[in-house]
């Protein structure tokens, strides 16, 4: 029995289907929930939390049934919503303490843990300021802090990197990783940025239009394709020159954007060959890397319709 | 999981404590409800949030209590044995101040969390949406109760100090307190409904004040007119349409108080009708509130 | 004067929750008059005139409708920041303010003065002149109220509450104690103007010259437009709040 299990979970709003027959099994560690906007990620989280009722199907979180033991689930789970949820006229420390108490912590413990958790998310000095004056990055951290304050066994992070600049985004992803690995708390993190979750999650669940597209370990998504990608730089059309010379040597290759894709899995001397060819042609070899899949390939392969968003 | 490290060094100890899981006691939802209730009650008086919030409620509280204190001082100085102000009619006399307090502070308990989105965080916790709504109502109810009852208590204590007839004063006092409890419940319900549905504080304040004052004004006007025309039933029916006249009616007929309105109920039947309407108003309003908050969970 | 802005303001006004109360107040006034007629068998026109028309209608319904409309036409947009879309258009800020105010005034006059006219007729169908006079006084007072409330919300952040204090405390309580305040009370202007138009009316406006009432109302109206325009032209978008 995993952390989250669903059987045939369905949610319909009149004519609109948010989730359709979802069968999931999510284990410990960091799991990424990926899908376009409107794919059903937030709906799934709200159903698991017991905030909305599913139309059909069953689910269990940490072994507790969502319909019968909703209260039990909510006492051991943390939630970081996607939307704004911080009152602007309260200080972060006061708010997190209050929320910890609402989750069942005694007053003294709540105060200690609140200060601790705010330090862990990086709001140690700013915790005495009113949250109305926080930047987006700080607000996201504060939201995360209230989700962790009561030491949950599982946290739902709904689009934690929303609205963050690239540097802050990296920080947040590192934090998410730390929660999953160092704190020992299971994490279900959603995003509509497909590549982002590759870095952080152990397991990825892909939703599309309310359906489960795929659910497997990240490594399977990003496994090697057996292809070699090279990038060359030089005068004139370096890419074509290089490609033609490689082809002349009997190596199947073709251009992919500015790169050259080589499909010769069997040859053990491939790297040396590439290096020597580059020298012969007189171009600089910038990159030589094993190609691996990306999550968006899932949309193209299995959905069969349109490109990823 | 990271573990505590570092042996003590001369000159100080630095611990990289890392994340510590919580292994202490976890209290049940009753404790959370109590915590929410107390926080709400304090917030209704501006305590616990930004400093400026205390100004209005505390000023209004002072405005409520000061006249009572003055009356007590006058009583004691002039050695009167009858209080100058009646316990039961005091709230109606200071209606404007009560209405402003109710209108201004109901949004603190009902609009704020809905407006900021914090309601999602509350509802993602073990406390149910029903419990949340009821606890918020309870905080507002007690806040209003204290607001209206405090000056009346001052009057009572003053009367006792001035050696008025204890039995008579106590009887009147307890009758008035029952009325105040009912009035607070009705006001909390009505203002809570307005505040949670309008969400914008300015509008909630305006609509609540307008609704309470206009309804009382209309009732007074209709009662004046129908009294002159001799149509008592119409006047009695009109009295059902304002919280103040409604509770006043219950107090007068069933508890033997003194009326501030022109056409109070004069039979037990009417008195019971007034009581039934009051209770129905509170029950119905609470049901609507709970239903509204349950819907908020899915947003 | 920009027709599109006015149209949008009008539409948004009736899309808000406040329109329940906006419509309820005049209906209540007219309903009250009907009720009185029914209960007193058409007899009580004289005695009920003051409480219903003067105290309730002119003193409560008219200013409250004006307050709700004025705060509704400008307030919500400024609150949630969407005013920025209007302000970034190549339209003068004064024109924006004026276009919105025109809508506020129109709704106030129709709902406020209009319902007072109807109410007066319900109470006493024979006194058309009286009802008209009251309506005109109410129309002028309503316009002045809109202007006054715009000024109040320009001075401080709590437009609705300061407007309520003006109506309830200033014009309600204080003006009845301190008769000197009638020189700065919009309600008094309106009543005096109505009295000036129909001599049989006695609306307790005190000792106030009619020309003063007209002039003072005009001053308030012009000042209100100017202040509204200025407030918008000095509007600064507060950042991440």
A253-266 pLDDT, tens digit each: 888 888 888 888 77
Residue C28 lies in a domain: yes
Measure the CA–CA gap between C115 and C95, rounded to whole angstroms: 29
Which range scores top for mean pLDDT: A12-21, A102-111, B5-14? A102-111
In chain B, helix, strand, coil percent, each to 5?
Answer: 75, 0, 25
Average pLDDT, chain A: 87
| pLDDT above 80: residue C200 | no
Give the model's confidence band at C134: pLDDT under 50 very low, under 70 low, under 90 confident, else very high.
confident
Q: What is the mean pLDDT of the segment spanning A130-147?
A: 92
Q: What is the pLDDT of residue B15?
A: 53
Number of folded domains in chain C?
1
* The pairing of beta strand A30-34 with beta strand A186-191: parallel
Taking an 8 Å cut-off on Cβ atoms, the answer to whether B225 and C40 are in contact is: yes
Low-confidence winner among A160-174, B202-216, B262-276 (lowest mean pLDDT): B262-276
ipTM for the complex shown: 0.84
Low-confidence winner among A14-23, A94-103, A152-161, C148-157 (lowest mean pLDDT): C148-157
| pLDDT above 70: residue C42 | no
Residue C72 lies in a domain: yes
Residues of chain C found within 8 Å of residue A88, distances taken between Cβ atoms: 241
Average pLDDT, chain C: 81
Taking an 8 Å cut-off on Cβ atoms, the answer to whether C241 and A132 are in contact is: yes
pLDDT, tens digit (0-9, with 9 covering 90-100), for A52-104 = 889 999 999 999 999 999 899 999 999 999 999 999 888 999 999 999 999 99
Q: What is the pLDDT of residue B2?
A: 44
Domain that holds residue C169: 3-233
Q: Output C165 or A131, whichever has higher pLDDT.
A: A131
Q: C152: closest CA among C175, C128, C171?
A: C171
Taking an 8 Å cut-off on Cβ atoms, the answer to whether B113 and A87 are in contact is: yes
**In angstroms, what separates the C-alpha of A2 from chain C's closest C-alpha?**
41
Residues of chain B found within 8 Å of residue A52, distances taken between Cβ atoms: 297-298
Measure the CA–CA gap between C122 and A256, rounded to whole angstroms: 84
Measure the CA–CA gap between A13 and B265, rounded to whole angstroms: 51
Give the model's confidence band at C30: pLDDT under 50 very low, under 70 low, under 90 confident, else very high.
confident
Low-confidence winner among A130-139, C56-65, C80-89 (lowest mean pLDDT): C80-89
| pLDDT above 60: residue B1 | no
pLDDT, tens digit (0-9, with 9 covering 90-100), for A179-217 = 988 888 999 999 878 778 888 888 999 888 888 888 888
User: CB within 8 A of B67, min separation 6: which ones?
Assistant: B85, B94, B151
Taking an 8 Å cut-off on Cβ atoms, the answer to whether B211 and C21 are in contact is: yes
Residues of chain B found within 8 Å of residue C71, distances taken between Cβ atoms: 202-203, 206
| pLDDT above 60: residue B132 | yes
Low-confidence winner among A99-113, A130-144, C20-34, C70-84 (lowest mean pLDDT): C70-84
Q: What is the pLDDT of residue C236?
A: 64
Residue C120 lies in a domain: yes
Residue C238 lies in a domain: no
Measure the CA–CA gap between B214 and B208, rounded to whole angstroms: 10
What domains are there in chain A, each with its CATH number? 4-221 (3.40.50.300), 224-292 (3.30.70.1150)
Measure the CA–CA gap between C154 and C152, rounded to whole angstroms: 5
Quick check: pTM over 0.90? no
Rounded percentage of chain B residues whose pLDDT exceeds 70: 92
Q: How many CB atoms lie within 10 A of CB A296?
A: 16
pLDDT, tens digit (0-9, with 9 covering 90-100), for A19-50 = 988 899 998 999 999 887 777 888 999 999 98
**In angstroms, what separates the C-alpha of B122 from chain A's closest C-alpha?**
8
């Amino acid at each position: 029995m995993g952390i989250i299990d669903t059987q045939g979970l369905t949610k319909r709003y009149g004519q609109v289907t948010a989730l359709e027959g979802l069968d999931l099994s999510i284990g410990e560690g960091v799991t990424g929930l990926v899908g376009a906007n409107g794919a059903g990620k937030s709906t799934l989280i709200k159903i698991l939390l017991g905030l909305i009722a599913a139309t059909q199907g069953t689910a269990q979180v940490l072994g507790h049934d969502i319909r019968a033991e909703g209260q039990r689930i909510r006492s051991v789970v943390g939630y970081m919503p996607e939307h704004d949820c911080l009152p602007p006229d309260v200080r972060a420390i006061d708010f997190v303490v209050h929320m910890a108490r609402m989750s069942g912590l005694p007053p003294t413990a709540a105060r200690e843990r609140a200060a601790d958790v705010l330090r862990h998310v990086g709001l140690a000095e700013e915790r005495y300021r009113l949250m109305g004056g926080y930047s987006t990055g700080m607000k996201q951290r504060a939201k995360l802090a209230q989700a962790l304050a009561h030491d949950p066994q599982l946290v739902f992070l709904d689009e934690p990197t929303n609205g963050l600049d690239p540097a802050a985004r990296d920080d947040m992803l590192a934090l998410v990783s730390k929660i999953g690995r160092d704190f020992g708390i299971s994490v279900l993190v959603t995003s509509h940025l497909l590549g982002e979750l590759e870095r952080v999650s152990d397991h990825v669940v892909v939703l599309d239009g309310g359906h489960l597209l795929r659910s497997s370990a990240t490594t399977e998504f990003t496994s090697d394709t057996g292809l070699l990608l090279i990038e060359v730089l030089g005068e004139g059309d370096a890419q074509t020159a290089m490609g033609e010379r490689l082809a002349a040597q009997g190596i199947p290759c073709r251009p992919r954007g500015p790169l050259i894709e080589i499909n010769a899995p069997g040859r053990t001397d491939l790297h040396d060959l590439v290096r020597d060819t580059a020298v012969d042609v007189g171009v600089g070899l910038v990159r030589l890397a094993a190609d691996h899949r990306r999550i968006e390939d899932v949309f193209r392969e299995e959905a069969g319709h349109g490109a990823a968003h | 999981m990271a573990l505590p490290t570092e042996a003590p060094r001369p000159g100080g100890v630095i611990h990289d404590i890392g994340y510590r899981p919580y292994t202490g006691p976890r209290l049940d939802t009753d404790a959370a409800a109590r915590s929410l209730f107390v926080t709400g009650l304090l917030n209704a008086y501006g305590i616990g949030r930004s400093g400026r919030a205390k100004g209005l409620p505390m000023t209004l509280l002072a405005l409520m209590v000061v006249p009572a204190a003055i009356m007590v001082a006058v009583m004691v100085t002039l050695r009167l044995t009858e209080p100058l102000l009646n316990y039961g009619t005091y709230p109606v006399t200071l209606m404007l101040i009560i209405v402003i307090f109710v209108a201004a502070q109901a949004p603190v308990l009902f609009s704020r969390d809905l407006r900021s989105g914090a309601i999602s965080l509350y509802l993602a916790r073990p406390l149910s949406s029903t419990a949340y709504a009821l606890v918020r109502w309870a905080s507002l109810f007690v806040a209003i109760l204290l607001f209206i009852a405090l000056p009346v208590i001052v009057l009572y204590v003053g009367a006792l100090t001035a050696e008025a007839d204890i039995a008579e004063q106590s009887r009147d006092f307890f009758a008035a307190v029952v009325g105040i409890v009912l009035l607070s419940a009705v006001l909390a319900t009505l203002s809570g409904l307005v505040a949670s549905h309008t969400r914008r504080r300015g509008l909630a304040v305006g609509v609540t004040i307008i609704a309470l004052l206009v309804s009382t004004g209309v009732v007074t006007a209709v009662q004046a007119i129908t009294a002159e025309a001799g149509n008592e039933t119409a006047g009695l029916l009109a009295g059902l349409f304002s919280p103040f006249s409604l509770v006043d009616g219950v107090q007068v007929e069933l508890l033997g108080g003194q009326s501030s309105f022109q056409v109070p109920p004069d039979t037990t039947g009417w008195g019971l009708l007034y009581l039934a309407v009051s209770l129905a108003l509170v029950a119905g309003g609470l049901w609507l509130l709970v239903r509204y908050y349950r819907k908020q969970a899915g947003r | 004067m920009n027709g599109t802005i006015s149209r949008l303001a009008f539409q948004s006004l009736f899309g808000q929750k406040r329109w329940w109360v906006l419509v309820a107040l005049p209906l209540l006034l007219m309903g009250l008059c009907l009720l009185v007629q029914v209960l007193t068998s058409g007899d009580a026109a004289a005695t009920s005139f003051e409480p219903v028309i003067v105290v309730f209608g002119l003193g409560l319904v008219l200013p409250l409708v004006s307050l709700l409309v004025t705060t509704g036409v400008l307030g919500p947009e400024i609150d949630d920041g969407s005013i920025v879309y209007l302000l970034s258009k190549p339209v003068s800020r004064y024109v924006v303010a004026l276009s919105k105010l025109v809508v506020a005034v129109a709704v106030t006059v129709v709902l406020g003065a209009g319902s007072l006219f109807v109410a007066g007729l319900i109470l006493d169908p024979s006194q058309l002149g009286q009802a008209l006079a009251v309506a005109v006084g109410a129309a002028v007072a309503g316009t002045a109220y809109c202007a006054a409330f715009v000024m109040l919300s320009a001075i401080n952040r709590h437009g609705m509450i300061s407007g309520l204090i003006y109506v309830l405390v200033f014009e309600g309580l204080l003006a009845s104690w301190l008769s000197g305040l009638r020189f700065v009370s919009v309600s008094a202007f309106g009543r005096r103007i109505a009295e000036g138009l129909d001599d049989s009316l006695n609306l307790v406006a005190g000792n106030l010259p009619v020309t003063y009432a007209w002039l003072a109302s005009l001053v308030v109206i012009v000042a209100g437009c100017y202040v509204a325009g200025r407030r918008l032209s000095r509007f600064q978008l507060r950042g991440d709040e």
